[in-house]
Structure 1
Amino acid sequence: MRRLPPPRKQTLFRRDFPDFGDLANGRVAGRRSRDEISLYINGGNQGLQFASVGGLVYEAARSQQIGRELPTEWFLQSIRD
């Protein structure tokens, strides 16, 4: 616990510790030695990188008129309880 960064005030969307946004924006320093640790807290954003890149690829394909439309039905399913 001594190696973790000092806690911050928790808000609705923030955890107690700095996140990647803080690191990318220079609000906190990254690791400075091999003795420091990185902590990843899964905030429910699994696959977010694929969704954002997928949107860019989709728009680029449409603008170049390449690829083909896929039926929406291929991505839907009926689930019974």
Structure 2
Amino acid sequence: MSLSERIVFQPFVWRGTRLEAGTAVLCRNSQDAHRRIDKVRAGILSVAGALVVRMEVDEEAGDYGEPEYLERIGCVPEAED
């Protein structure tokens, strides 16, 4: 079993009256993800909101650990339990 850390920047955009997930971006590290959040905060990236999520992944087995939400900005859907 080979676990690796994945950090994902997940933007959200408005499509009419619906908030939808945009294209997720796999980040090199947490600093890369936080730079993307800073771009949203500064208005450089035009999205409704975004999440940064970290999780442990075993791609060979198809196992994904519980997501850890590192940062949230703007309009994002509530996490489901």
TM more than 0.5: no
1 or 2, which has the higher helix percentage?
A: 1
Structure 2 length normalisation: TM-score?
A: 0.28
Structure with more strand by fraction: 2
Structure with greater Cα Rg: 1
Higher RCO (Cα < 8 Å, 6 or more apart): 2
